[in-house]
Amino acid sequence: MTDKRPIIKAINISKKFGATKALSDVSFDFYEGEIFSIVGANGAGKSTFIKILCGYYGDYEGEILIDGKLIKFESPRDAYEAGIQVVHQSIEQGIVQNMSVAENLALEMIISPDASFVYDKKKIVKRAIEIAKKMDLEYLDMDKNIQDITQSEKQMIIIARALATKPKLLILDEPTSSISDREAAKLFETLYKLRDEGVSILYVSHYLAEVKKISNRVGVIRDGKYGGLLYQPLEISQIVKAMVGDLESAFKRSYDEKSGKKLIMELRDLVVEGSKYPLNIKIYSGEIVGLIGLIGAGKTELAETLFGIRKPISGEILIEEKSANFKDIHQAIKHGIHMVPENRAVNAIIPEESIKNNITLPFLDFFSKFGVLAKKNEIKASKRMIKDMGIKCEGFDALIESLSGGNQQKVVVARWLLMKHNIVILDEPFQGVDIKSRRDISKYLQDTTKKSAVLMISSDIDELMDVTDRIMVMNRGRILSNEKTSEVDRDRLLSLITQE
């Protein structure tokens, strides 16, 4: 790339939050016609760097040059007008609630200063369909409220809208965390096309296989500082070492099937919403059981039924061999069922609250006596979980929003592991979580799951192969396979997952 002039230069970028220095002298160049990935552990400073590039933070040190000219963004609008378009990690930041699918796709047309005062639905729908076609989304009902479609579809809408602007720099922050493998493949095809048309693409992902596959170069941010550049050909081990140093291999405890196991949960002919197939599953103490399937396979519907969010169509849930169909979440929690939901931003994080409150809130009764909250015990418990889970933060009283996405996820997991439970359900627990944090969470689960059990739901084979004792495959509401992880044939597993 040395024979080309960068279209954007970020020079010695630094940013403080109070006394904490999130970034210190980080410099990267961005060239036309390349996919440049940035990697780093959770809390390394990637999101801060992105927010500076897209105008979200104006109070930074250092310089940003576009086409050789020094610029200073006062707002995200300034960055957008300069040709910088961003797709944020949080899906909810990219959609407008209570608007239709068409309005969300054609949002820039609606909010443009040149937009007509007269609302022209035909023009909006026409533009929306043009944008949707680029990502094969024209099948969507354009009149449908955005809240009534899946997380995957919302993500694809946000990406399609960003691609439609043909930006100078396109920033994608964890764009595949909520979409299927098929949709990700379509996204990569579109990115290659944009790259070949001269667009500069900044790609941020914890899925290192993706980074290896699509990147021309990889920039590393480590502990808020510039960590170097990597070039093709790339190896995942090389990227991991640059991010976090030498990482010890996954700790895998030996699970003894016959040693004092107790039946924790049993599903007898359970039929969940959206399916017609009865499920018969047994989960024993000491087990970490994986459940894998594509988006739409029925995994989340099952999890929400087990946690009392949805009512089963028929069948029975048994906890410790006693019937325990739940009417609501409170009953599920009383039976020792805890759940980390898929959508952290919407269903798990309690905004504008401290890390302590985010960890302890569901269990305040435990920390109260005669209606008085024992704050010392609450603080002690939250400090213990922060230490045990390796949550990178300023302290237990820091706001949850001050954490990186991966550390927020650790807080959510810590919440549901804080108190004694029979089974904890983790629905896509590693979305937006780097490989080191994934190992931290996995090791904690493996060390503490002796008298309880874990049901880990994921669409990533490698995540489950690394952590679980056995893996069940779910396809269109059916369980097609249930076998020990040590005996799993990866190719056969993939075939069952994608079976039509």
pLDDT tens column, 321-359:
998 877 889 889 989 999 988 766 666 778 888 999 999
**pLDDT number for residue 344:** 62
How far is it, in rounded angstroms, from Cα 132 to Cα 288? 40
Whole-Å CA distances, 38 to 20, 217, 258: 22, 9, 46
Predicted pLDDT at 314: 93
Phi, psi angles (nearest 5°) of residue 186: -65, -40
- Half-sphere exposure at residue 76, Cβ-oriented, CA atoms within 13 angstroms: 10
The confidence score (pLDDT) of residue 108 equals 82
Identity of the highest mean pLDDT range in 18-22, 253-257, 486-490? 486-490
pLDDT band at 298 (very low <50, low <70, confident <90, very high): confident
443-457: average pLDDT: 86
pLDDT at 345: 61
Looking at residue 253, its amino acid is: R
Tokens linked to 131? 């944008």
Q: How far apart are CA 500 and CA 427, in angstroms?
A: 23
Lay out the sheet containing 200-204: strands in order across.
69-71, 61-66, 8-17, 20-30, 225-231, 217-222, 34-39, 200-204, 169-173, 84-87
Which residue reads 């904490």 in tokens? 20
- Higher-pLDDT residue of 4 and 275 is 275
DSSP-assigned beta bridge partners for residue 201: 35, 170
Give the mean pLDDT of 3-23: 86
- pLDDT > 60? residue 2: no
- Give the integer Cα–Cα distance in Å for 22 and 398: 15
Kindly report, residue by residue over 61-115, the tens digit of the pLDDT.
999 999 999 998 888 888 888 889 888 877 777 788 889 999 999 888 887 777 6
What would the mean pLDDT of 275-301 be, rounded to a whole number? 89
Which alpha helices (DSSP H) does 277-431 contain, by range? 299-306, 329-334, 344-347, 355-360, 375-389, 405-417
Which of the residue ranges 259-273, 369-383, 429-443 would you say has the lowest mean pLDDT? 429-443
Most confident residue range from 97-111, 332-346, 370-384, 424-438: 97-111
Q: Is residue 197's pLDDT more than 90?
A: no
Assess contact for 101 and 143: CB atoms under 8 A: yes
Q: What pLDDT is recorded for position 98?
A: 86
Residue 185 vs residues 175, 180, 219, 445: alpha-carbon distances, Å: 12, 9, 23, 32
**pLDDT higher than threshold 70 for residue 150:** yes
Q: How confident is the model at residue 447 (pLDDT cuts 50, 70, 90)?
A: confident
What's the whole-number mean pLDDT along residues 436-462? 83
Closest CA to 295 of 176, 136, 468: 176
Does the predicted TM-score (pTM) go above 0.95? Answer: no
Residue 250 pLDDT exceeds 50: no
Quote the pLDDT of residue 258. Answer: 44
Tell me the average pLDDT of the chain: 85
Burial of 108 (0-12, 13-18, 19+ CB in 10 A): middle
Give me the domains of the chain, ranges plus CATH numbers: 8-83+165-244 (3.40.50.300), 102-159 (no CATH), 263-498 (3.40.50.300)
> Three-class SS string for 253-289?
CCCCCCCCCCEEEEEEEEECCCCCCCEEEEEECCCEE
Q: Look up residue 415 and give its two tokens.
A: 């919440």
Looking at residue 420, its amino acid is: K
**What is the torsion angle, in degrees rounded to the nearest 10, for the CA atoms of residue 53, residue 55, residue 57 and residue 58?**
110
Q: Which residues pair with 369 in a beta bridge?
A: 372
Per-residue confidence (pLDDT) for residue 375, from 0 to 100: 84
- Distance between CA 412 and CA 272 in Å, rounded? 25
CA distance readout (Å), 186 to 102, 121, 173, 274, 430: 21, 29, 17, 27, 23
List, in order, residues 6 or more apart from 377 with CB less than 8 Å away. 367
Mean pLDDT value across residues 468-474: 93
